[in-house]
Amino acid sequence: MEQLSPSLINLFIIVFGLVIGSFLNVVIYRLPRERSIVRPPSACAKCHEPIAWHENIPLISFLILRGRCSQCDHKISVRYPLVEALTAFLFLLTWRGTGLDVAQFRNWFFVSIGIAITCSDLDFRIIPDELSLGGWVIGALTAYWDGRNEFWPLILASLLGFGAFFAFGLIYEKITGRSGLGGGDVKFMGTIGVFLGFAGIWSTLMISSILGSGIGLAYGYWQKRKEGTEHEGALLRSAIPFGPFLVFGALVELIYEVSRWMIH
C-alpha cells in the first residue's frame, strides 16, 4: 500500500464505506422484518417500484433525488444517507494503515454490525441473532485465522461478557421484579468480547452503563413531566433500547485501540 498516496487511500476507504453503508441499509430494513437480504432488488418502501442502479448510488442519489422517490414522490428517510456517511466515517477512524489484513477486516466488520444493531434496536427493540451470534462466529473464526495468540483470551472475554451480563440481568430481575436487559444485549456482549477482548468488555460496561443510566433517567424525568404521572418504574423499564449504548461504548474502545496502535 506504500505506493498509494494517503489521500487516495482515504478516498478508497470513504467510497468502500459508503458502499457497505448502502448494503447495511438493506440489512437494517430487511433483517428485523425477516426478509432475504439478497432478493429482491431494492424498491421504494411506499410504491414498491424498483430502484434503478443510478438512483441507488450512496449519498449522491439521495442528493440528486432530493430525498424523494422518483416514481411516487414518497419521502426517503434521511437515515439512509446518514448510515452511509457514518459507515464511511467510522471506516476511516478504524483504518489501521497496514492494508487489507484480517485485523482490518475485523475492525470494519465490527463497525458494520454495530451500525446495523443500533438501527435495528432503535426501530424494533431487537438485536437480530444473525448480527449478534452470526457476528460472534465471524469474530471467533477471524481471531483463530489471525493467529495472534489471542484466540483463547478473546473467547474467554466473550464468555465473561456474556456471563456477566446474563448474571446482571438475573440479579436485576430478582431485585426489581422486571426484566432489564434483553437477551439480544446479553448475546451482543459476547460478540463484543470476541472482537475487543477483556478491555473491550470493561470499557463497554463502564461507558454504556454511565451513559445509559444518565440518558435513561433524563428520559424518565422528561416523560414524567410530560405525563404528570407517578410511575417512574414503568418509565425506566425498557424506556430506551440499550443496544446503541453498548455499540457506542465498544466503538469508543475500538477507536481508542486503533489510535494507540497507530502511534506505536
Interface with Zn ion (CB under 5 A):
44, 46-47, 69, 71-72, 74
Closest CB to Zn ion among 46 and 148?
46
Calculate the CA dihedral of residues 112, 114, 118, 119 and round it to 10 degrees.
10
Closest CB to Zn ion among 79 and 224?
79
Q: What angle do CA 20, 83, 243 make, to 5 degrees?
A: 105
Helix (H) or strand (E) holding 147: none
Closest CB to Zn ion among 73 and 150?
73
Residue 158 CB partners (closer than 8 Å, separation 6+): 136, 139, 140, 190, 191, 192, 193, 194
Closest CB to Zn ion among 71 and 223?
71
Least CB distance to Zn ion at residue 47 (A): 3
Least CB distance to Zn ion at residue 56 (A): 13
Least CB distance to Zn ion at residue 46 (A): 5
Q: What angle do CA 34, 39, 44 make, to 5 degrees?
A: 85
SS3 34: coil
Closest CB to Zn ion among 42 and 209?
42
Q: What is the DSSP secondary-structure string of 54-95?
A: GG-STTHHHHHTTTB-TTT-PBPPTHHHHHHHHHHHHHHHT-
Least CB distance to Zn ion at residue 59 (A): 19
SS3 162: helix
Residue found under cell 475500538: 254
Closest CB to Zn ion among 74 and 79?
74
Least CB distance to Zn ion at residue 77 (A): 13
Least CB distance to Zn ion at residue 83 (A): 19
Give the single-character DSSP code of 226.
H
